[in-house]
Structure 1
Amino acid sequence: MDSELKRKIVMRANLTLMMIIGALLQVSAVTYAQKVTLSKNNTSLKNVLKNIQLQTGYDFVYPIDLVKNAKIVTISVNNASIEDVLEQCFKDQPFTYKITNKTIIIKAADIFSNTVEDNVWIDISGQVTDEKGQPLAGATIRIKGSQTGTVANADGKFSIKNIHQSDVLQVSYTGFITREITIDNVSGSLQIVLKEDKQALTEVVVLGYGTTKKETLTGSVSTLKMSSKENMPITNASQALHGVSGMWINQAGSQPGQDVASIRIRGIGSIGEAGKNNPLVLVDGIEYDLNAINPAFIENITVLKDASAAIYGSRAANGVILITTKKGRKGKTDINYSYSYGRQSPTMLPDVVWDPILYMQMKDQALINEGRSPAAVDYSPAQIEEYRNGMATDPLTYPQNNWFDIILKTGYIQQHNVRFSGGSDAVLYNIGLGYMDQDGILIQANHANRYTLNANISANVTPKLKIGTSIIGNYKTFSQPAFGGANATNYYFNRLTRALPIFGTYTADGKYANVVFVTPKRNTIENPLMLIKEGSNTYAGQSILAKIEATYELPFNLKYNLNYGVDKEDAFRKSFEPYLVSYHPITGAPNNYNTHPASNNADENYLNQSFYQTLTWDKTFAKKHSLSAMVGTSYNNFNTINFSGHIEGYFDNELTDLNAGSTLPSVTGQITKNIIMSYLGRLNYGFADKYLLEGTFRYDGSSRFARNKRWGFFPAVSAAWRLDKENFLKDLTFIDLLKLRGSWGKMGNQDAVNLYSYLNTVNLGYDYTFANNISSGAAIAAYNDPNITWETTTTYNAGLDIDVFKNRLGVVFDVFKRRTSDIIRTVKIPNQVGGLAGPTKNIGTVDNTGYEISLIYRNKINQFSYELAGNISHVNNKVIDLHGEKIISTRRITQEGYPIDSYYLYKAIGIYQNQEEINSSPNLGAGVRPGYLKYADLSGPDGVPDGKIDANDRIITGISSPKYNYSFNLNVGYKRFSLSTFFQGVQGIDLYPTLNWAVPFNNGAGVTKEWATDAWTPQNPNARLPILTVATDATENFQPSTFWLKKGSYLRLKNIQLKYDLPTKWLSKISMKNISLFVNGENLVTFSKYKDFDPEKDVTGDSFYEYPTLKTYSFGINATF
């Protein structure tokens, strides 16, 4: 910046400052002319001063004990100046007063009359309270223009020594108006009363392309202040969203470095891939990965659930999550540092049989139960006896391995975050750095590191021009087991569930062992220790979101805002799958896990350029009519470049680069581009802040569709009525807010459409024979619909907001309906057409209806404060139209009249007790025996029972998404201690566990202990489980049936935290503002009927092949300098 430009900026800044000072002097002059009307007879001086304060707005400062000795006052004035009133009040009193700005200082009479030297240094002490006399612990008392100051203690008291008589005290507290008090040779104890800053206490809600006040909000919006999640051991923002009204957050595992949470807002609206139901996430107005931002750098989160999301048009059908990062605030630089360390372990694991003798006996019994001869079981009595004896003498050959103990350990997580924030009238800044180090519960290949940056800087370049820039950076690495690619951890847990207690770890000579006895159906022996220790699978990814923003104030109340942001992400995955062999612990015979080493590299690049500009106008007419308008344009350009390479034929396991391989090389890659252009607008009208109306629109064009289908219009309208401002309620002074709301809007879901879905694509590889020669060919593999367009969601919402008893009690109630039409899915075509896939078309309609209730009550009694809050959300999902089609997938069905992905099962009606009962009933299969499940014959082809058990007898029952989501929390505080508890749960969801461990001996896997104690036998006919069999042999017991459908509802103590704030009198000596010490418990207790695994699991899969949910015990410190 050249010197001339600097000079102009300084001149303008000085001119602006002079204008502000001049305006303040004008206001001051007017204020001093205020008049007082007062009539009091034989009343205390303190009472008179309070009346003067109420009429004029002047503040009085005086020593606490001073006015106790004042004489009784009788005064009667009408429209008198404040000076005349004060003269009458202080007539014949032993003290006098002095007016400084808006403050009246009262002292002993000789204080102001005595002549003193200029260079006088004094001591000051006092107490800071609110208007109710409650102490304001932590209030800041500072000498204006210096670094000298202190913080009020728990009683609101403070003292500052050796300050100059001409100094000015600045007294501030969050949510209160800052006061300035001239010392002017005053000593003794001061009583300083701060007034609430009504404007600061008004909650501001972030909306699309703007903000509004809670009182004037017309839509259904949930807000989360991240201060409520402070010090919790959360690593990503999705964890913080638990408990937000109207949202279902299913965490489904705690793998380090990965966020596998599914987020649903007011139900599931689309059919098919889970990603079609994801909400749009914006960070400071730009789309960004929710998992990439450090939760410690988030100020608040807003969730748009109804028509308020329509301003984001074709990408808002599943709701919108708006994240606002922390910004700088005016004042000296604050340095905040936080540290936490926690230990982690699984919340719940299956109760597996790890006793090798019991395992072999149960396996043999299962085979006998299904008809196998005792002489043909897997483990003979002699083998079992040999194993029993060998466990004591040769534990390597005859192990009794609990693979949980061998493979799992206690993990840890530590986080460091530091923030620098502050600013002046010219520049505001907030810069944060974070580091996370997490070591998972697997003994190896389970580590993650993350480095984060968040920088926000804004500057008032001129009185009309404000510019800002922000950078959010993230660099993370994590490791996984070698085999399984990007989902290697889940693949490894699949292998772990196949581990048996008789599987060995090492042979006597240090090689990887397999098993002493041949295990049927286990041609490949998976030694879990070998699979986790050998090879490598690493991920390194970085992302940066850079944004620049400018706002310029134009004439006629116009304001122009310009934003340009770039989200650049790239990641590199590298895995090496070595050649692995395990050996028989006695003979040394090898068993190959795989036949050759292989290496895989993948490079992923993503670039999103986002540009939007808005022009806003605000005007108030006749003091009652408020009108505001906003129009804007938006442009998004999404680009991806993906590349992957695979090669085999390595000489050994040492060289792992791609160029060291020699056989079966393969390369794949993809480049995509997608552009969205938009025009948008908003119009708001309010009459006396009582009747509120809002309308929005967005006109989107997307390159995902054909030219004649690219543009869509998405309007919305909402209104609210502030009943608390009506005259017929004015006498009900306990009502602070009573507002009715209603909204309607349309939104789209273009992300449900794959790129180029409107084109018939030609695929290579369709070779053909011509004249006995094979020639290369190409063919159309699938028909596509050129008229395909986005899914459309229409929302209806009615709501009620209530705040009463000085905002101590708050209630929010909403009832809603979301109808999603033109659902995108692949349509089947007749087999006569050939081996072609059907086209992707807009077919289907789904409804989500429900309600939400949120309550909060908070109060403070002296130094004790408490807050009780909770919410519950109900969603009823129903398929309205599928053109009569049924979508069936093993145990699930999507059909008109039922929820998406309902369970489609045989109805189990008990357990067969004897052969006679079997002979007299229709059966599913020829191998049914006593102890097997009995199924109901409900229907035949013509709808009536036909004496057979077949697909006609299946019923639709159970749902895979919860009907109810709820949470509640209790926070209490006393003096410097605070305790918070947070509970979260779901109700009305079903799970269907299957495969390894969920059913006995599945495909050679193990078994859980319940089958040893709760399975049917002739001696135990009332058992909970059917007779013990091998699931993959005797399949009659393990058909999809209601018997195996489990209730997945749960209530979890999600977090409990105890915090202690160190006394301010200690901190002031070391120039500290605050130090908090805390201990945390996360996911400590879960109440659920589902005992097989943690109930918060992946509902799209029915296995245990996923990383467990972890509970965490942590402690830490949060300090501000």
Structure 2
Amino acid sequence: MLSYKKEWRKHFFDVLGLAEVQKDQYSGFYTTVTNFSIDGLGYNNLQGGALRPWEGTNSYYEDPRLASFMGRVNYTYDDRYILTVNARGDASSKFGSNHKWGFFPAVSVAWVVGKEKFMEKLTFIDNLKVRAGYGLAGNQNGIDSYTSLNLIHPNGVAPVGSSPVVTMDQLKNMNPDLKWEVKQTFNAGIEMALLGNRLLLTANYYNSKTKDMLYLYNVSVPPFTYNTLLANIGSMRNYGTELSIGITPLKTKDMELNINANLTFQQNKLLSLDGNYQGEHISATEYKSLAGLDGAGFHGGYNHIVYQIVGQPLGVFYLPHCTGLVSDGNGGYTYQIADLNGGGVSLEDGEDRYIAGQAVPKTILGSNISFRYKDFDVSLQINGAFGHKVYNGTSLTYMNMNSFPDYNVMKKAPTRNIKDQTATDYWLEDGDYVNFDYITVGWNVPLKNTRYLQSLRLSLTVNNLATISGYSGLTPMINSSSVNSTLGIDDKRNYPLYRTYTIGLSVNF
């Protein structure tokens, strides 16, 4: 790291240069044997197992390397006008021979309006700053070290003469054109401090587009040797606005009240997954299931309900529409499914299904309220999420009387007598919630005439104090951000949140 700083009259320069080289090494092995004669033998006596299954022994080695260089110039004029220019170059061993290097420049500007002379008359404004920036960032996560190379692996044993020989096969399609996934981001913001810094306001906007997105495609054999290929073809957009407010409405020697809140409006869109690779047109399936219903008690069909669809946010509920419950003719009820395309009811992808909402919240709330009275203080943390859906798979399963008596059912199930487990939008609910994450009450015990004791504090904290939500299940606070098999689904795989009480004692000598 090299740095240089220079101040000359109203000009200030801050120059920084960085260089870094990384090499990681991962290696390991394992062996599996079965059919031990006695239970006392184990991994310290592997030869005691009679059977060694094929592929029960394996080893691996990986040594990814990364070289990075960055230069930054920060220029400030009269403490009011700020220009920052970054230039970064990274080389990763994970990419193809012609694409190991990526160049990611960035530039940002800021104007401290509060220091302008025309602001002197506005005495209630303590600070005002506007800023904007644009830059590129690279991503290499999610791929193996040797994806761009032609790899082989053992696939069996064949006799050659009188001796067995391990045969080899290509492990996966190689892609020498693998390159950096690049995110282009524009951001702009404004910061204000008013009324003696007792009111702080911040607004930020961002809009980013990811191109050359790394994605695993299903491809035809031939011309490809293997049926999947990792390639840089797709694109995605993320954008949003973040608003923050900090208020100190009360501040005296004995009392102080602080209120801070952060509200984030976010949205994303999968733009494209189609493109050409070495003359071959490659595309992903139009509807790809991301999450489905699973777990004890579920034995229905068409259980995939959260999908990836081009042109939509990542993780949307793609479901048949239920118009209500109808009699099955035997005293029970089933879900009546709407014929959305006029060709008869079908639950297949692309048939009588529609986009019923998204699993990722559109708005996220975070807030902290703290109050102090002399030596006592209280702090309350509040979180919330809005604009998304949760699928109540627990109710779908345990309101189904066909499961009884093999599985338990809910208390209301016999009365409603639903004998159907078809996944429709009947059990899709609003996931909006406000959660009181924790409250802490503290007392800084006054100390007088103590020679060795510097401070003494007692505290009581209650976590997961309460949740306000219209969701009928155990909790709406399930996975609503990570793209995996549980996204947006409540079907008994999430351990419900519990309330904890903590008493604390802090002593400083």
Normalising by structure 1, we get a TM-score of 0.40
What are the residue-to-residue correspondences of 1:354-365 with 2, within 5 Å? none
1:1043 alignment partner, SS class:
helix
Asked whether the equivalents of residues 647 and 658 of structure 1 are also in contact (C-alpha less than 8 Å), the reply is no
What are the residue-to-residue correspondences of 1:288-687 with 2, within 5 Å? 614-622=1-9, 624-651=10-37, 656-659=42-45, 662-665=49-52, 666-687=56-77
Q: CA deviation at 1:947?
A: 2.6
Tell me which of 114, 120, 124 is aligned to 1:724: 114
Q: One-letter code of the match for 1:949?
A: S
Percent sequence identity is: 26
Q: One-letter code of the match for 1:1105?
A: R
Tell me which of 423, 429, 449 is aligned to 1:1040: 423
1:760 alignment partner, SS class:
coil
Q: One-letter code of the match for 1:909?
A: T
Identify if the C-alpha distance between structure 1 residues 860 and 662 changes in structure 2 by more than 3 Å, giving closer, same or farther: same
Partners in 2 of 1:793 and 1:1002 — Cα distance?
Answer: 48
Match of 2:345 in 1: 948
Paired residues, number: 470
Q: CA deviation at 1:628?
A: 1.1
Match of 2:508 in 1: 1120
Q: One-letter code of the match for 2:408?
A: V
Q: One-letter code of the match for 1:912?
A: V
Does the alignment pair 1:978 with 2:369?
no
Tell me which of 430, 441, 464 is aligned to 1:1058: 441
Does the alignment pair 1:888 with 2:288?
yes
Match of 2:270 in 1: 879
Match of 1:156 in 2: none
Moved more, 884-893 or 793-802: 884-893
Moved more, 1039-1048 or 628-637: 1039-1048
Identify if the C-alpha distance between structure 1 residues 642 and 998 changes in structure 2 by more than 3 Å, giving closer, same or farther: farther
Asked whether the equivalents of residues 852 and 871 of structure 1 are also in contact (C-alpha less than 8 Å), the reply is yes
Asked whether the equivalents of residues 911 and 931 of structure 1 are also in contact (C-alpha less than 8 Å), the reply is yes
Match of 2:278 in 1: none
Asked whether the equivalents of residues 892 and 901 of structure 1 are also in contact (C-alpha less than 8 Å), the reply is yes
Partners in 2 of 1:1003 and 1:1014 — Cα distance?
Answer: 13
Partners in 1 of 2:91 and 2:20 — Cα distance?
Answer: 10
Question: Cα deviations across residues 65-110 of structure 1 (Å, max 9, x unaligned)?
Answer: xxxxxxxxxxxxxxxxxxxxxxxxxxxxxxxxxxxxxxxxxxxxxx
Which of 1 and 2 has higher RCO (CA within 8 Å, sep 6+)?
1
Match of 2:101 in 1: 711
Match of 2:453 in 1: 1072
Partners in 1 of 2:474 and 2:30 — Cα distance?
Answer: 35
Tell me which of 906, 931, 935 is aligned to 2:320: 906
Match of 2:144 in 1: 754
Higher helix residue share: 1
Asked whether the equivalents of residues 337 and 345 of structure 2 are also in contact (C-alpha less than 8 Å), the reply is no
Partners in 1 of 2:203 and 2:226 — Cα distance?
Answer: 50
Q: One-letter code of the match for 1:935?
A: I
Does the alignment pair 1:1083 with 2:464?
yes
What are the residue-to-residue correspondences of 1:821-836 with 2, within 5 Å? 821-830=211-220, 836=226
2:312 alignment partner, SS class:
coil
Q: CA deviation at 1:805?
A: 1.3
Does the alignment pair 1:964 with 2:379?
no
Q: One-letter code of the match for 2:479?
A: D
Partners in 2 of 1:1043 and 1:914 — Cα distance?
Answer: 17
Asked whether the equivalents of residues 221 and 227 of structure 2 are also in contact (C-alpha less than 8 Å), the reply is no
Identify if the C-alpha distance between structure 1 residues 836 and 649 changes in structure 2 by more than 3 Å, giving closer, same or farther: same
Partners in 2 of 1:640 and 1:996 — Cα distance?
Answer: 45
Partners in 1 of 2:404 and 2:213 — Cα distance?
Answer: 38
Higher strand residue share: 2
Question: Cα deviations across residues 596-618 of structure 1 (Å, max 9, x unaligned)?
Answer: xxxxxxxxxxxxxxxxxx11111
What are the residue-to-residue correspondences of 1:163-312 with 2, within 5 Å? none
Match of 1:798 in 2: 188
Partners in 2 of 1:739 and 1:869 — Cα distance?
Answer: 20
Q: One-letter code of the match for 2:445?
A: L
Tell me which of 1012, 1015, 1040 is aligned to 2:416: 1015
Asked whether the equivalents of residues 996 and 1005 of structure 1 are also in contact (C-alpha less than 8 Å), the reply is no
Match of 1:302 in 2: none
Q: One-letter code of the match for 1:894?
A: Q
Question: Cα deviations across residues 1001-1037 of structure 1 (Å, max 9, x unaligned)?
Answer: 7698633424436624xxxxxxxxxx1x3xxxxxxx3
Q: CA deviation at 1:912?
A: 1.4
Match of 2:256 in 1: 865
Gaps in structure 1 of 5+ consecutive residues? 1-613, 916-927, 940-944, 1017-1026, 1030-1036
Gaps in structure 2 of 5+ consecutive residues? 275-282, 290-303
Asked whether the equivalents of residues 395 and 427 of structure 2 are also in contact (C-alpha less than 8 Å), the reply is no
Partners in 2 of 1:1073 and 1:684 — Cα distance?
Answer: 43
Normalising by structure 2, we get a TM-score of 0.85
Asked whether the equivalents of residues 1058 and 1080 of structure 1 are also in contact (C-alpha less than 8 Å), the reply is yes
Identify if the C-alpha distance between structure 1 residues 850 and 1005 changes in structure 2 by more than 3 Å, giving closer, same or farther: farther
Does the alignment pair 1:693 with 2:83?
yes
Partners in 2 of 1:851 and 1:634 — Cα distance?
Answer: 34
Asked whether the equivalents of residues 96 and 175 of structure 2 are also in contact (C-alpha less than 8 Å), the reply is no
Q: CA deviation at 1:874?
A: 1.0
Partners in 1 of 2:223 and 2:16 — Cα distance?
Answer: 53
Identify if the C-alpha distance between structure 1 residues 712 and 990 changes in structure 2 by more than 3 Å, giving closer, same or farther: same
Match of 1:240 in 2: none
Partners in 2 of 1:643 and 1:1109 — Cα distance?
Answer: 38
Q: CA deviation at 1:839?
A: 1.2
1:1069 alignment partner, SS class:
coil
Partners in 1 of 2:224 and 2:231 — Cα distance?
Answer: 19
Match of 1:63 in 2: none
